[in-house]
Amino acid sequence: MSDEKNIVVPVEGEPNKDGLDIRYVAFCDILGFSNRILTDFDRTLELYKQFGATVSSLPIKGTQVTMYSDAVLVTGESLGRVLSAVQALWFVALANDLMIRGAITKGRYWEHREGNNLLVASDALVRAVKLEKSVGVPAVVIADDVEISDEFWLNRFRGSLLETPLLHFRDRNIVNPFNTFWFASAETRALRLMADSPSHQDKYLWFLALYKAVSSGQELIPPDVFMRFVVTVY
């Protein structure tokens, strides 16, 4: 018989004695940062410092944000709080003429801090990194196996699209990159970024299409959820 120890999967919100728990993990990539750092290191470093300082001061309780180079890792036990943190990250990115791409997953997460060292092992992080690489557009997508409560979609009908954390666009559930402060300028910034990087035109056209869908007041919730709401009402 094997003397290998059994792996104990913790209950959500209840980390076991080894520090292993269940978390939502968002892995995001700051688009264009690598090219900027290679072509204009000093200016990009100053921008990065400002970006990092702003991200560090975000008042999102219940989440942990880690930045390294062009990657940002957000973890938390609440999907709502992780969504809020990623929305805040979008706000900072657009304010600095940057965009992000990423993925949110859910799974086992373990970390250990000792001095300046941080050790992390997470199946959720591995899946988030793989999914982020496959996204191909400036969006932070939610993995298909992440359960999303109807409450998140009901926010769509309680206020404007700029006040809901989630959107469903072109068969993807994504974090809403817009807010009431930066919505109007988001289009201008996207057009400017597209002009500066014509080789990435398709990605910016996707973002502009999302902008137009929001500005035109489309439902932007999954069709099955919308039909369930309609049946409930009538």
Tell me the pLDDT band of 9, cut-offs 50, 70 and 90. very low
Average confidence (pLDDT) over 29-48:
85
The pLDDT of residue 1 is 40
Residue 61 lies in a domain: yes
| Count of domains for the chain | 1
16 inside domain: no
Closest CA to 189 of 91, 43, 88, 87: 91
pLDDT tens digits, 70-103: 899 999 999 999 999 999 889 888 888 889 999 9
The residue segments making up the domain with residue 133 are: 21-233
Residues 152-165: tens digit of each pLDDT? 998 888 877 888 89
Q: Which helix (H) or strand (E) holds 49?
A: helix 41-56
Q: In the structure encoding, which two tokens stand for residue 79, read together?
A: 């999907």
pLDDT tier for residue 66 given thresholds of 50, 70 and 90: confident
When pLDDT is cut at 50, 70 and 90, the band that residue 196 belongs to is confident
Rounded Cα distance, 38 and 148, in Å: 39
Q: Is residue 32 part of a domain?
A: yes
Tell me, yes or no, whether 13 lies in a domain.
no
pLDDT tens for 124-154 read: 999 999 999 999 999 999 999 999 998 899 8
Which range in 20-24, 50-54, 230-234 is most confidently predicted, on average pLDDT? 20-24
In a domain, 164, yes or no: yes
* Inside any domain, residue 141: yes
Tell whether the model's pLDDT for residue 14 goes beyond 90. Answer: no
Reported as a single tens digit per residue, the pLDDT across 200-220 is 899 999 999 999 999 999 989
Chain mean pLDDT for the chain: 85
**Domain CATH code at residue 91:** 3.30.70.1230
Residue 110 domain-assigned?
Answer: yes
- Domain assignment present for 7: no
Instruction: Read off the pTM.
Output: 0.87
19 pLDDT higher than 80: no
